[in-house]
Amino acid sequence: MTLIYNFDTTATSPILPQVLDQYVRSLKDENLNPSSSHQGGLDAASAVTRARRKIARALDASEQAIIFTSGGTESTNHALKGAAFASARLPKRLIITAGEHDATRQCAVFLKDKLEYDVDIVPLTTEGTVDHKAFCNALKKAPAGLISFIAVSNETGAINNVDKLVRLSRQYAPGAFIHADIVQLAGKLSFSFQRSGLDFASLSGHKFGAPKGTGALLVRRGANLVPLIDGGGQQEGRRSGTENPPGAVALSEALTLQSEVIEKHLDKVSSLRALFFDLLNKKEVPHRVLSPTDGSPYVLSIAFPGIRGETLMHALSSDRIFISTGSACGSHHQGKNDVLEAMGYSKDLILSSCRISFSPFQSEDDVSYLVDRIAENYKRYALTM
């Protein structure tokens, strides 16, 4: 079997072995329709209920807060569009940041084009976090009905201060609904939905070891949403469609397992990241770190001046080493990175950038091999831009 060195786990992480085992068992034992009234359906519904309970415990949320979805993109769409459709009295103004995932950006386009929302995009600091002064100015500028920000950048790992952003939002836009994209936070950093003060939070299972197509939207009690999917009235009418017991079980298992070892995994990932820089410096490979020093250790944006990030990505790929040149959802825009541009980086530096993800399931040998191949390919391809 050919070894794969996956340093692109920000895009998607492998299914955890324990989760895969549980998922397969669920496909065999609990894959009936939870809406059926026979005993098999009741058993499947019980599996979904248990999964919801475990997720609530892991994220410090009520069980009623959880809507199962297909992932972060659907959850974000449901939160922003659902709140806009449900609240005719809301001011038609949305505030987002320049650091958002494409799902949030495209929701903003939809609200602007289809529902005549005004959209304000708050700039970032050079560290990649939300500019708090600009955020306050946007809040004071005019009444806002919706506010959305990313908790941890999927491009750089920059960590936004959720507590402060929520506090400012409540102070200057008390009637607004607040949504956070916690896709790169859930299962990796500590989080309490109850204490966050958020109205909505979106997460995606395949970012922390669950199968693709699993995710959830957390909804605060009293936060009104129009469902985007109508049908059989599943999940209390909030998201119709036959529920997926194996997916719900796998999502809850992965989130529970990851939440139990957050600090241990943070230490491991931080150590691998430090080793990467030590080895890179020993190899004397020219580079510039674009991620903030106090960001998530799971995500590293780094540039290697003299070689295109795309060239390095493809060269490493031939050795079955996988990195990226940014978010997989934005990969069709080669050579363009809205987040890095918002941080003030030049086009040439962005062209030289790539994103490397660190995982607690990588080894020091994996990191050493990655650096060896980067060094070799840099010597081979540098200055060919």
**In order of start, what are the domains of the chain with their CATH numbers?**
5-14+261-381 (3.90.1150.10), 17-260 (3.40.640.10)
Pairing verdict, β 93-97 and 200-204? unpaired
User: Residues 316-372: pLDDT tens digits?
Assistant: 999 999 999 966 555 445 568 999 999 999 999 999 999 999 999 999 999 999 999
pLDDT for 209 beyond 50: yes
pLDDT for 245 beyond 50: yes
The gap between the terminal CA atoms of the chain, to the nearest Å, is 35
Tokens 């997460």 -> residue:
203
pLDDT of residue 199: 98
pLDDT of residue 283: 97
Instruction: Quote the CA–CA distance of 341 and 147 in Å, as a whole number.
Output: 22
Burial of residue 192, with CB atoms counted within 10 A of its CB: 0-12 exposed, 13-18 middle, 19 or more buried: exposed
pLDDT for 383 beyond 80: no
Handedness of CA 47, 181, 6, 275 (dihedral sign): negative
User: Residues 7-35: pLDDT tens digits?
Assistant: 999 999 999 999 999 999 999 877 889 99
For residue 248, give both structure tokens: 């719900």
- Out of 107, 136, 329, 354, pick the active-site residue: 329
107 is a catalytic site residue: no
HSE-CB for 175 with a 13 A CA cutoff: 12
pLDDT of residue 30: 72
Is 249 within 8 Å of 27 (Cβ atoms)? Answer: no
The pTM (predicted TM-score) of the whole model is 0.95
The full DSSP string for 135-150 is HHHHHHHS--SEEEEE
Helix axes 245-260, 17-29, angle to 10 degrees: 160
- The amino acid occupying position 235 is Q
pLDDT of residue 76: 98
Closest CA to 66 of 230, 255, 274: 255
Q: Would you tell me how many other CB atoms lie within 10 Å of the CB of residue 25?
A: 13
Q: Which residues contact 162 (CB under 8 A, 6 or more apart)?
A: 149, 151, 180, 196, 198
CA dihedral of 292, 295, 301, 302, whole degrees rounded to 10: 50
CA 204, 206, 210 angle in degrees (round to 5)? 105
CA dihedral of 102, 106, 108, 112, whole degrees rounded to 10: 160
